[in-house]
Amino acid sequence: MTSLAKKLAIFASGRGSNAAALYEAMQAGEINGEVVVVVTDQQDAKVLDRAKEWGVPAHVVMRKAYASKDEFEQAMLDVIAPYEPDAIVLAGYMRLLGPTFIALYENKILNIHPALLPSFPGLHAQGQAVKAGVKVSGCTVHFVDTGMDTGPIIMQAVVPVYAEDTEDTLAARILPEEHKTYKKALALFCDDKLVIKDHIVHIKD
């Protein structure tokens, strides 16, 4: 039995290539979801142009417009509330969400990170991997908890790292894997196939 399409809010801070890959997969019927709103914290984020092309409502919520992080996050919650999202998809959203926000969407916030977590969390993950001299890296789709990239891991993909790599060349090799992995992981989530037990994600048949 197919369940109802999940209503998804996408949060992104930049160019939105992951957001676009996910949107296109939804249009192609590969993910049982619908993007109901796009939210960004950057007024010139390219994802805003994409949302316009898609005819999806988009909102800019700027951190500097609010005195505290709590007020900023409350403003984001107020912006998405009318769309009644079932889940939040972070696609290059470059801020840590606070505990109050996360508690309201417990196990319903997904993120993509450009490294094999728990290695290289935080910013410049690809640069961290190049500096460490690892021979493989990749990407991780995970549920978001209150830590920095520490939530239960849903899916990972691996790419080689070469001695000549720079942060940019490695990022370019990882990005297409991000798009593929995020699509597969979000499709499983939207089909209610993911179960978390003791921080481990199980995939139902």
Which residues are the active-site residues?
Answer: 113
Closest residue by Cα to residue 138 from 160, 163, 164: 160
Residue 37 φ then ψ, to 5° = -160, 150
Binding site for ligand GRF (CB under 6 A): 12, 14-19, 91-92, 112-114, 178
Whether the Cβ atoms of residue 179 and residue 125 lie closer than 8 Å to each other: no
Would you say 98 or 121 has its CB closer to ligand GRF?
A: 121
Would you say 14 or 57 has its CB closer to ligand GRF?
A: 14
Of all residues in this chain, which one has the CB nearest to ligand GRF in the complex?
92
Would you say 6 or 113 has its CB closer to ligand GRF?
A: 113
Whether the Cβ atoms of residue 34 and residue 8 lie closer than 8 Å to each other: yes
Query: What is the Cα–Cα distance from 37 to 53, expressed in whole angstroms?
Result: 13
Would you say 62 or 195 has its CB closer to ligand GRF?
A: 62
If you write DSSP's letter for every residue of 117-168 in order, what string do you get?
A: TTSS-SS-HHHHHHHHT-SEEEEEEEE--SSSS-SPEEEEEEEE--TT--HH
Q: How far is the CB of 205 from ligand GRF (least distance, A)?
A: 29
Q: How far is the CB of 11 from ligand GRF (least distance, A)?
A: 11
Q: How far is the CB of 3 from ligand GRF (least distance, A)?
A: 27
Would you say 27 or 68 has its CB closer to ligand GRF?
A: 27
Whether the Cβ atoms of residue 5 and residue 34 lie closer than 8 Å to each other: yes
Q: How far is the CB of 1 from ligand GRF (least distance, A)?
A: 32
User: Within 10 A of 129 (CB to CB), how many other CB atoms are there?
Assistant: 26
Q: How far is the CB of 12 from ligand GRF (least distance, A)?
A: 6
- Quick one: DSSP state of residue 2? P
